[in-house]
Amino acid sequence: MPQHNRTDPALTRNFSIIAHIDHGKSTLADRMLQLTGVVEDRQMRAQYLDRMDIERERGITIKSQAVRLPFQAVDDERYLLNLIDTPGHVDFSYEVSRSLAACEGAVLLVDAAQGIEAQTLANLYLALAGDLAIIPVLNKIDLPAAQPDKYAAELSGIIGCDPSEVLRVSAKTGEGVDELLNEIVRRVPAPTGDADAPARAMIFDSVYDTYRGVVTYVRMVDGQLNSRERIAMMSTNASHELLEVGVISPEPTPVDRLGVGEVGYLITGVKDVRQSRVGDTVTTAAAMSKNRPEMLPGYQEPKPMVFSGLFPIEGSDYPVLRDALEKLQLNDAALGFESETSAALGFGFRCGFLGLLHLEITRSRLEREFNLDLVSTAPNVSYDVTLEDGEEFHVTSPADFPTGKIADIQEPIVKATLLTPAEFVGAIMELCQSRRGTLDGMDYLSEDRVEMRYTLPLAEIVFDFFDQLKSRTRGYGSLDYDAAGTQSADLVKVDILLQGETVDAFSAIVHKDKAYSYGVELTKKLRELIPRQQFEVPIQAAVGSRIIARENIRAMRKDVLSKCYGGDISRKRKLLERQKEGKKKMKMVGRVEVPQEAFISALATDSGAEKSKG
């Protein structure tokens, strides 16, 4: 039954935890759930708020979660703390910005053995821009390698507070977590809003539930929303009946209403998550018809930055892949896709992602949750190409690259922030220069930690930049980046030809200076991967009509019956059947049979998969 909740906004605190991957955010959330008694010890499991298997396996948070924590503070008042858990990865920073907009305060959580990382710094600036109260906290003080004094001084320098104001906790043992909850009550301001004004609630997330339709997460700003009331979405004017109002504590719990400052969920039975747009304002249908309230400031729509083709290995799985992508899109507003056809790979979809980790996680979920076998093409970014006759093209795939005389190509660039120990400054400069980067400035955060700022082409960092950064800094370097417009670039399309026929799946758009090395590398790789045929197969790399690299696969003739001298005909049939089965796993490119493994290995994005955890 719904609870008749009456919460005093003055006793409510809405806060987020900002932290880098592996700095202990999910563990701290676990301790808070235990300390406040929301989850009993016997029910407790690690990463309680990470609901997806993939989040638990990789130890990262992908989707924001909101949970209500009742807390008896040292002043004997009973407070309601709303913890809005956020992802720590650069690919999911749009989730972070949504969560921060629903809060008045943020806990800045930093590993006492590693110090602040670039992405944490970026999220800190987001929180400061939103005028949130910041509580700096050093975690993992129980580790032998912890240097709390050193990193407390570094944090105080960044935020402008006294080192003594930096709290020290161990999320693992629970040490200092009670004091942290009391500091949240003391330092984070109570939400403000007019309880008598027309209802206004901000949507900060929406997820799709198979049984109940769209579940919309909101933060109330003014007025109240009651169960069974008619509500309206202000950006679309869509109107729905409110079937259920509730809070997460830590499981969904129905309540009779949500008032000023509260964080909860709404269920209307709508099946399309796009009708609950993140950043939209929810009000009552009655308020909309009388005196339309002012909309709350929303968010920018997340724009895809990296594109990749996803193709099912079995052509008959194409409709299954389409349904799977539509279902994932219900829970992931940042995922975009459209149909694409490849001569080599058949029917599939060109998908847009926020970054490489986003791509990897989407692909893992498709393979796991929908039992699909997929080939994904090498990730690339989008370009704006202008021909000499003035015709313009927006290119998200090498297959779309126009032929004809090119006047200009605009490529996306990013402003990157890199944090590194001082000893690796030279190595990072060398890496960034090799990736066409321009140094914008650098500052010493402490004696041995440097913040470096670069402008880099996005195409140069989406593939193996993180790997290189980590290996050159022995794992200590970290990176964050933001889109910063476009710049003119000297780019060419490299085609791969098998026996004179272009294989669109292997084409790539690269900088003119790197075209030759790309062509040589891929032709060598394909010579190893494609089996010998009954005729010689030339593998060529070309820019336009000019061949820049070539490898040959020597001819061979394989007779699978050569060892069968007479004997039982059924044995011969079995060998021929086995050969036929093997041929099914080949793709015909012209007259050349290319095994699936060749596409999977040549187009593998795995080399860049975990890098994004950098």
pLDDT digits (tens, 9 = 90+) for 87-109: 544 445 555 666 777 889 999 99
- Place 133 in a pLDDT band, splitting at 50, 70 and 90: very high
216 in the same domain as 73: no
Within 350-424, residue ranges assigned H as helices are: 356-369
pLDDT in tens, 394-432: 988 888 888 888 899 999 999 998 888 889 999 999 999
Number of domains in the chain: 5
Inside any domain, residue 405: yes
The pair of structure tokens assigned to 386 is 């202008």
Write the CATH number for 98. Answer: 3.40.50.300
Burial of 315 (0-12, 13-18, 19+ CB in 10 A): exposed
DSSP string, 259-270: -TT-EEEEE---
Q: Are residues 136 and 230 in the same domain?
A: no
Please report the pLDDT score of residue 41 as a whole number.
Answer: 52
Please check whether residues 456 and 499 belong to one and the same domain.
Answer: no
pLDDT at 379: 82
Give the domain extent around 57: 9-187
- Contact criterion met (CB below 8 Å) for 359 and 353: yes
Q: In the structure, what pLDDT confidence band is assigned to residue 50 with cuts at 50, 70 and 90?
A: very low
Q: Is the same domain home to 25 and 141?
A: yes
**The whole model's pTM is what?**
0.69
Whether 423 and 359 share a structural domain: no
* 501/438 same-domain check: no
Q: How far apart are CA 282 and CA 202, in angstroms?
A: 6
Which residue, 400, 382, 384, is CA-closest to 306?
382
- Report pLDDT for 253: 85
**Burial grade of 601 (CB within 10 A; 0-12, 13-18, 19 or more):** middle
- Indicate the residue among 140, 166, 187 that finishes a domain: 187
Percent of the chain with pLDDT over 90: 18
> Residue 613: its pLDDT value, please?
34
What gap in Å lies between CA 605 and CA 405, rounded to an integer? 32
Residues 47, 142, single domain; the answer is yes
Between 392 and 295, residue with greater pLDDT: 392
- Same domain for 453 and 335, yes or no, is no
Question: Is residue 295 included in any domain, yes or no?
Answer: no
What does the pLDDT look like over 535-592, one tens digit per residue?
788 889 998 888 988 888 887 755 555 555 555 667 667 766 665 555 444 555 556 6
Please give the share of the chain, as a percent, with pLDDT higher than 70: 82
Residues 468 and 497 in one domain: no
361 and 396 assigned to the same domain: no
Asked whether the predicted pLDDT for residue 267 surpasses 70, the reply is yes
